[in-house]
Amino acid sequence: MRNCLLILILLCSTFSHAAEREPEAYLKMLNQALKLIQPAHQLFADQAEELHNQIGQLCQSPSEDSLQTTRNQWRKTMESWMKVSVIQFGPLLENDSRLRIQAWPIRARLLTMGIKQLETAEAPPTLEQIAQGTVAVQGLPALEALLFRTDALSGLQQGQACAAAQTIAEHLIVLANTLNQRWQNEFGRDFADPVNTPGGFDTPQEAFDEYMNGLVTAVQQIKRRKLEDPLGLAGKPGKAGATESYLSENSRDNLHNNLTALILYLTGGEGYGVDDDLIAQDPDSIAVLVLDDRIKGITKYNKQLTMPLEALVKPATPEAEAQREVAESIFKELSLLNKAFENQIFEALGVTRDFNSEDGD
Amino acid sequence: MQVTRRQLLQAGLLATAGLVIPALGRTADNSKENLLLSSVTDKDDKNWWVLSDSQGNILAQHLLPGRGHGSARHPSGKSAVIVGRRPATFMSVVEVSPQGEYKFTDLTSATGRHFFGHAVYSVDGKFIYTTENDFDNGRGVIVVRDISNDYKVIAEWESGGIGPHELRMMPDGHTLVIANGGILTRPDQPREKLNLDTMKPNLAYLDTRTGEMLSKHELPDHQLSIRHIDVADTGRVWIGCQYEGMALDPMPLVYHHDLNQGGLQAAEASMDTWRALKHYTGSVVADNQQGIIGISSPRGDRVTFWDNQSGKHLQDIKLRDVCGLIPSPNGKQFVATTGKGDIAIIDAQTLAVTSESRTPELHWDNHLQVLA
């Protein structure tokens, strides 16, 4: 019965049009979003700073303990990055910041070659050389390669490896601080109050439109790059090496933190989010129903997923088989969420999905 | 379907068809002369070919069976064709009578062929050339249709590569320049790119008098798909590429070529400009009056402008989700359209936006044409 009702409502909603919205609703959501986005960026900048400190200590006193401590700090930095990286618009896309912080997916050969060049160079790399060079040796994947590869400890004591790690980490601080400052200052102010602040946004709707499109881009990227491609969910064979953070086996944590952040931004945390806005418009609408279903589904499967994704590409145990099914369920939920945005949620919110930039020819 | 624009408006037929779009925004009087043609997708996901004024007021419309892509204007300026987006099997022709009547005619590709989205007319207006896929044999072809004989296919030539996309007529009036994108596709896997590791795009020149391939030119990176091109009246071909590989660093995406004068040359721009294009360009159009080339990048949210003579990047205009781009017939303006429903008029001398209109119910598709 519920399915019939859903189909009926879906059909009806297909032929409806978005109503004109008052700017106040957008402003409420933008202000709440900023309350979540700014601390996330501050945390990422702080973690990057701490990672640099830890790498400095590791290079000064190399030991298995200090390597482990640094690896843990890398994971914490990655966690904070995963919560920032779903904000796929604005400062993150300026000057290739996203790629510079995390050049991924990337051919393993490019990364290995880049690291080797740095290690075997006659002099340690300068900050400028890292910043002006290839993105393959910038940011978190390059540090992962140096910290998590086989025999990482002895590797760091060879040639310029430790100096390179320190400079890459220093450059990561620059990137994280730049991103953070944009959100704490001009960009953040323009985002939360577009009418009264000079900047790129003229109206609250415009700022909200970019924010929502950025989140949906994140949904699509998580779905495709982190699940579909590495797990082989679309016909092509999967590849363990294509999972994110393969060397550190951090793929599951990355996914978990991405999804947690995504839901936080959608719901506005404790404040006024997309779900509240849809309910305020019409608590019985299909948009409310589908968003609620997806949030519950993603939350449920996200908790159930416990194994690293690389172990699920070719599951070797019954447990891994079951975990692969959980990963597939997350994939399906994200696919449904993407469709819900395109078919119901965007229209209800009064914003439009990017068109040419999403599917050109 | 044959009604006048006035009849349509008076009878409210546009309203019953469900696509009367009120345009919002500021306008410039000098942009009213432009009659725009483009494929659009509406909020109900229906695809239309529309004729609109430059404020986005729809003057005529035609329902398409799928997304349209590029359109070509007949040399007379009184008719035009739109071609379906890969792997479409339709194209549609509109003719405008002196009384302002619009007549639409739908055509389909031959068995075993589908369109790649672009067409060009012969200089005398007697023939139309389309890029098509002979998908069973994995080869690109140029199909020639005789307009006076109900668009009957009268010839088919090898395009010189796989996945031919845009094609243009050279100023000599008989040489076609063809962007062979290099990407293998099949209609049963509509949007899948099947040969990204082995793709081999090229720019090819073909003599329409004989169907003979004159020359082919490749780029150093085999994963730079040559997609969109235009020819300046100086004979210089401008090329917009889309990168299909895994390299993450920025690279030149705009090239130019002078026939019989060596290989393809990268246009001159800063690394920041290349980075801003995000490995993707859309429309490529030449404004011959100003000697300026416009190239859109929907992923980079910008229109870039280039000097035809020097080959140098001039400046950019930021425009969200922009792709459609065309110079006005008098060369004084560029018109740009976006997937967000915006129509921007850009002064071709100052390269500044002089007016903007918005049709928020419409996604303007990749390419734009102007009817005189």
B 137-196 residues with CB < 8 A to A: 165, 191
Residues 6+ apart with CB under 8 A from A259: A222, A298, A299, A302, A330
Name the strands in the sheet holding B24-26, side by side, starting at the edge strand that comes first in the sequence: B24-26, B353-358, B342-347, B333-338, B322-327
What local confidence, expressed as pLDDT, does residue A5 receive? 39
Check: CB of residue B105 under 8 Å from CB of residue B138.
Answer: no
CA atoms of B185 and B162, how far apart (whole Å): 9
- The type of residue at A266 is L
- Residue of A342, A94, A140, A106 whose CA lies nearest to A253: A140
Residues 6+ apart with CB under 8 A from B161: B140, B178, B180, B181, B182, B200, B201, B202, B204, B216
What are the backbone dihedrals phi and psi of residue A213, each rounded to the nearest 5 degrees, phi first? -60, -35
| Residue B115, both tokens | 């369109």
Q: Would the CB atoms of A356 and B250 count as touching at under 8 Å? A: no
Give the total number of structural domains in chain A.
1
Instruction: Tell me how far CA of residue A336 lies from CA of A222, A295, A341, A349, B135, in angstroms.
Output: 13, 11, 9, 18, 32
What local confidence, expressed as pLDDT, does residue A20 receive? 65
CA atoms of A232 and A239, how far apart (whole Å): 7
- Among B248, B299, B340, beta carbon nearest to A352: B340
CA atoms of B131 and B204, how far apart (whole Å): 12
CA atoms of B20 and B36, how far apart (whole Å): 15
Instruction: Tell me how far CA of residue A316 lies from CA of A229, A246, A311, A313, A320, in angstroms.
Output: 19, 18, 8, 9, 6
CA distance B101 to chain A (A): 30
DSSP reduced 3-state for B205 = strand
How much of chain B is in helix, strand and coil states, percent to nearest 5? 5, 50, 40
CA atoms of B357 and B34, how far apart (whole Å): 13
Which element (helix H / strand E) includes B273? Answer: helix B271-276
- CA-nearest residue to A105 within chain B is B246
Check: CB of residue B197 under 8 Å from CB of residue A107.
Answer: no
- The per-residue pLDDT for range B351-367, each reduced to its tens digit, is 999 999 988 889 999 99
CA atoms of A164 and A181, how far apart (whole Å): 26
What are the backbone dihedrals phi and psi of residue A115, each rounded to the nearest 5 degrees, phi first? -65, -40
- The type of residue at A302 is N
DSSP B125: S
Instruction: Tell me how far CA of residue A114 lies from CA of A55, A111, A120, B24, in angstroms.
Output: 19, 5, 10, 51
What local confidence, expressed as pLDDT, does residue B330 receive? 93
- Among A14, A17, A107, beta carbon nearest to B246: A107
Fold classification of B2-371 (topology level): Methylamine Dehydrogenase; Chain H (2.130.10)
Q: Would the CB atoms of A136 and B339 count as touching at under 8 Å? A: no
Per-residue pLDDT 10s for chain B (372 aa) are 333 433 433 333 333 344 444 444 433 344 446 889 999 999 888 999 999 998 999 999 999 999 999 999 999 988 999 999 999 999 999 998 888 888 999 999 999 999 999 999 999 999 999 999 999 999 999 999 999 999 999 999 999 999 999 999 999 999 999 999 999 988 888 778 889 889 999 999 999 999 999 999 999 999 999 999 999 999 999 999 999 988 889 999 999 999 989 999 999 999 999 999 999 999 999 999 999 999 999 999 999 999 999 999 999 999 999 999 999 999 999 999 999 999 999 999 999 999 999 888 899 999 999 986
Chain A contact present for B197, CB below 8 A: no
- Among A110, A136, A356, beta carbon nearest to B339: A356
Q: Which residues from chain A sit within 8 angstroms of residue B242, using beta carbons?
A: 360
Q: Would the CB atoms of B280 and A135 count as touching at under 8 Å? A: no
- CA-nearest residue to A358 within chain B is B299
Query: For chain B, how many residues are written?
Result: 372
Q: Hey, what's the torsion of the CAs at A291, A294, A295, A300, to 10 degrees? A: 160
DSSP string, B331-368: SSEEEEEETTSEEEEEETTT--EEEEEE-TTEEEEEEE
Chain A contact present for B249, CB below 8 A: yes
A358 part of a folded domain:
no
Q: Which residues from chain A sit within 8 angstroms of residue B318, using beta carbons?
A: 200
- CA-nearest residue to B163 within chain A is A361
Q: Would the CB atoms of B323 and A356 count as touching at under 8 Å? A: yes
- Residue of A157, A145, A175, A147 whose CA lies nearest to A72: A147
CA distance A125 to chain B (A): 19
Q: Would the CB atoms of A360 and B360 count as touching at under 8 Å? A: no
How many CB atoms within 10 Å of residue B287?
23
Instruction: Tell me how far CA of residue A67 lies from CA of A44, A59, A149, A332, B216, in angstroms.
Output: 21, 9, 12, 38, 55
A16 part of a folded domain:
no
| Residue A300, both tokens | 């449920």
What local confidence, expressed as pLDDT, does residue B316 receive? 96
> Which of A97, A357, A358, A359 would best serve as a mutation to test chain B binding (most B beta carbons within 10 A)?
A357
A294 part of a folded domain:
yes
Q: Which residues from chain B sit within 8 angstroms of residue A103, using beta carbons?
A: 248
What local confidence, expressed as pLDDT, does residue B15 receive? 32
Chain A contact present for B207, CB below 8 A: no
A173 part of a folded domain:
yes
CA distance B320 to chain A (A): 8
Q: Which residues from chain B sit within 8 angstroms of residue A131, using beta carbons?
A: none
Domain CATH for A120? 1.20.1420.20
Q: Would the CB atoms of A136 and B323 count as touching at under 8 Å? A: no
**Residues of A contacting chain B (CB within 8 angstroms):** 14-15, 17-18, 95-96, 99, 103, 105-107, 110, 134-136, 200, 209-210, 347, 352, 354-361
Q: Which residues from chain B sit within 8 angstroms of residue A105, using beta carbons?
A: 246
- Residue of B113, B114, B70 whose CA lies nearest to B88: B114
> Which of B43, B85, B116, B325 would best serve as a mutation to test chain A binding (most A beta carbons within 10 A)?
B43
Q: Which residues from chain B sit within 8 angstroms of residue A239, using beta carbons?
A: none
CA distance A110 to chain B (A): 8
Q: Hey, what's the torsion of the CAs at B181, B185, B190, B196, to 10 degrees? A: -70
Tokens 């695809």 belong to: B47
ipTM of the prediction greater than 0.95, yes or no: no
Q: Which residues from chain A sit within 8 angstroms of residue B41, using beta carbons?
A: 355
**Alpha-carbon Rg for chain A in angstroms:** 22
CA atoms of A320 and A67, how far apart (whole Å): 29
pLDDT means over runs of 10, chain A (361 residues): 39 40 94 98 98 98 98 98 97 92 92 95 97 94 97 97 98 98 97 92 93 96 96 90 96 98 98 98 97 98 97 97 98 97 93 85 90
Chain A contact present for B282, CB below 8 A: yes
CA distance B98 to chain A (A): 34
Q: How far does chain A reach from its first CA to its final CA, in angstroms?
A: 41
Chain A contact present for B358, CB below 8 A: no
Q: Would the CB atoms of B43 and A347 count as touching at under 8 Å? A: yes
Q: Which residues from chain A sit within 8 angstroms of residue B366, using beta carbons?
A: 356, 360-361
Q: Would the CB atoms of B363 and A136 count as touching at under 8 Å? A: no
Query: For chain A, how many residues are written?
Result: 361
What SS3 string covers chain A?
Answer: CHHHHHHHHHHHHHCCCCCCCCHHHHHHHHHHHHHHHHHHHHHHHHHHHHHHHHHHHHHHCCCHHHHHHHHHHHHHHHHHHHHHCCCCCHHHHHHHHHHHHCCCCCCHHHHHHHHHHHHHCCCCCCHHHHHHCCHHHCHHHHHHHHHHCCCHHHHHCCCCHHHHHHHHHHHHHHHHHHHHHHHHCHHHHHHHCCCCCCCCCCCHHHHHHHHHHHHHHHHHHHHHHHHHHHHCCCCCCCCHHHCCCCCCCCHHHHHHHHHHHHHHHHHCCCCCCHHHHHHHHCCCCHHHHHHHHHHHHHHHHHHHCCCCHHHHCCCCCHHHHHHHHHHHHHHHHHHHHHHHHHHHHHHHHCCCCCCCCCCCC
**Alpha-carbon Rg for chain B in angstroms:** 19
Q: Would the CB atoms of B321 and A356 count as touching at under 8 Å? A: yes
> Which of B191, B249, B338, B342 would best serve as a mutation to test chain A binding (most A beta carbons within 10 A)?
B249
Q: Which residues from chain A sit within 8 angstroms of residue B246, using beta carbons?
A: 105-107, 110
- Residue of B285, B303, B289 whose CA lies nearest to B370: B285
Q: Which residues of B135-149 are buried (b: 16+ CB within 10 A; e: fewer)?
A: beeebbbbbbbebee
B 17-36 residues with CB < 8 A to A: none
Check: CB of residue B107 under 8 Å from CB of residue B93.
Answer: yes
Cis peptide before A105 (omega within 30 of 0): yes
> Which of B340, B356, B365 would best serve as a mutation to test chain A binding (most A beta carbons within 10 A)?
B340
- The per-residue pLDDT for range B38-52, each reduced to its tens digit, is 999 998 889 999 999
Which range of residues forms the domain containing residue A241? Answer: 2-11+21-349
| Residue A277, both tokens | 């806005």
What local confidence, expressed as pLDDT, does residue B33 receive? 67
- Among B165, B275, B298, beta carbon nearest to A357: B298
User: Beta partners for B83?
Assistant: B91
